[in-house]
Amino acid sequence: MNPYIQYMYSYPHKTAYRPLTGIRLADCAGSLSGPGCGLYLHIPFCQTKCGYCNLFSVTGAGTEEMERYLDAVERQLSQYRRTLEPAGTRFSDFTIGGGTPLLLNAGQLDRVFAMTESYLHFDENRSIVIETAPNQTDREKLQLLKGRGITRVSMGIQSFCDRELETLRRGHSGKKALEALELLLSFGFDCVNADFIYGIPGQTIQSLLESLERAVSLGPQEIFLYPLYVKHGAGLERELRDGMVLEPEKAFEQYREACGFLKSEGFRQDSMRRFVRRKSEGSWQSSIAQIVRGKSAASQQASMEQIIRGKSEHLRPFSECGFGTSLALGCGGRSYVGNLHFCTPYAITRQDCLRELYAYENTQDFTAVTHGIVLSREEQKRRYVIRHLLIRPGLDIGRYRERFGTEILKEFPLLSEWIEEGYLVQQSSPDEVGTNCGSGLRDVCCNPAQRKAESGWLVLTDDGLSLSDYLGPQLISREISEKMAEWETAHGQTN
Ligand code: SF4
């Protein structure tokens, strides 16, 4: 059995989106009114193209091209304001992803914050998340981010082993990644996350653990572990054709060892990929010891403050996800407004990305929704199940009934099979759920410990969680599968 079929980070996949007509942003004003909306800005530029990348990003852009892109984003902001202002929309979280957002120079980065704040309204305690890469992480930009109140920084490290980084075609060295992570952590952001990849050809359990040990010793709050996928259009596709081999069984062994290591180091597992550092007394002491070792007084102070803040946040937050409102700016980002999901057409290859970028920068009317999907009730249920089941604390059966008026186990007999197979359990309450709500997205968001458990929870076992990329795709509807297959055929997907 190959455990790595598909990463279900959202549903439906963008390849199931199709052209839309007759829909405008103003038609969604009801869903956009008031506080609690999410905002996403996509910066589609990278220094080099990683061999596994199937994200919307292009290389080779200079200052002028990036300015032109930001000009288009500002036009989009200005047009969006005409709908959002009367609706009283307020954003509670803002994510800047890519691409590599920190490839923008400091002036351009500052412009991003200045223009979003001047056109949109944010909640006072909004969170701001940004992605970065080691080569683009420098003191000047981190100071700017700190000054702008960024709450979470996520860095794509992938490995500290140069041979593995070369195989992945990452543009940085292990040494550079180590320096960048140290520098990033010295700024005391509320949350620093480091991404790693396993299943890299030539990687061993030992080399993966060495990378993770180095990262853990520096003290990031979160670590994400991604299996290596090489999808259609990714640079490594050619190597695969020329004999490079991905070995899912080996990758799975690496993953199991890595999970065990991270848990032994005091990390809580929230999904197949996400590991969050627990703030137990033991791990606190080891974090403090690491801080005291050989760091400047200012750096020690920043890290201590970060640890103290974290102490009250060691429990897993719960939020009902999958139906939040989130608006995307730029080319390649995705908006979720009620049952309408929309974005620019999905593109992976350089040629396709450049074509979409050109079309975006020349868009006259950003408020016309021209590409996406309107989810039927059936698809909304599937989305709900996928978005809750693959992430702990899991799915609240009573809440599902309240939302849809139906019984989940009757509607999804597959889930009963998973219970029999030991991938899923039905239990009376979730594990390790805190009182702090994590998602700022507009939605019902509560502490379930204060809520009467009506029918219990469906929670993936550790075995089930480790097979999320195998189990999750089984929840895709036939209609969506057919649309995805149609896109793949049209775009020549071979794997
Ligand atoms: S994986 Fe990330 S850093 Fe690498 S090319 Fe893609 S978007 Fe850029």
**Residue 265 in this model has a pLDDT that exceeds 80:** yes
Q: What is the CATH number of domain 14-311?
A: 3.20.20
- Give the residue, out of 43, 47, 53, with the most ligand 1 atoms within 8 A of its beta carbon, to mutate for a pocket test: 53
Q: Mean pLDDT, the chain, as a whole number?
A: 89
Torsion of CA 190, 154, 176, 52, to 10 degrees: 170
What pLDDT digit, counting tens, does each position of 43-79 carry? 999 999 999 999 999 999 999 999 999 999 999 999 9
In short, whether 382's Cβ falls inside 6 Å of ligand 1 is: no
Tokens of 348: 């992976």
Helix spans in 95-138 (H): 106-119
Q: What's the mean pLDDT in 456-467?
A: 97
Report whether 457 contacts 429 (CB < 8 A): yes
Q: Report d(CA 422, CA 95) in Å as an integer.
A: 36
Report whether 57 contacts 409 (CB < 8 A): no
Residue identifier of the C-alpha nearest atom 5 of ligand 1: 49
Q: Report d(CA 172, CA 230) in Å as an integer.
A: 20
In short, whether 50's Cβ falls inside 6 Å of ligand 1 is: yes
- Give the residue, out of 52, 54, 55, 157, with the most ligand 1 atoms within 8 A of its beta carbon, to mutate for a pocket test: 55
Beta strands (DSSP E) in 220-355 are: 222-227, 267-269, 274-277, 326-329, 334-337, 340-343
In short, whether 133's Cβ falls inside 6 Å of ligand 1 is: yes
Please give the pLDDT value at position 232: 85
Domain assignments of the chain as residue spans, ordered by start: 14-311, 377-475
**Residue 157 in this model has a pLDDT that exceeds 70:** yes
Tokens of 154: 């996520």
- Give the residue, out of 42, 48, 49, with the most ligand 1 atoms within 8 A of its beta carbon, to mutate for a pocket test: 49
Q: What's the mean pLDDT in 149-159?
A: 98
What pLDDT digit, counting tens, does each position of 400-420 carry? 999 999 999 999 999 999 999
Helix (H, G, I), strand (E, B) or coil at 282: helix
% of the chain with per-residue pLDDT over 70: 86
CB count within 10 Å of CB 305 equals 12
**How far from the centroid of its chain's Cα atoms is residue 154's Cα?**
10
Q: How confident is the model at residue 233 (pLDDT cuts 50, 70, 90)?
A: confident
Q: Report d(CA 25, CA 83) in Å as an integer.
A: 7
What pLDDT digit, counting tens, does each position of 171-205 carry? 999 999 999 999 999 999 999 999 999 999 999 99
**Residue 296 in this model has a pLDDT that exceeds 90:** no
Higher pLDDT, 69 or 438: 69
Beta strands (DSSP E) in 51-190 are: 58-59, 91-98, 122-132, 152-158
**Residue 453 in this model has a pLDDT that exceeds 50:** no
In short, whether 158's Cβ falls inside 6 Å of ligand 1 is: no
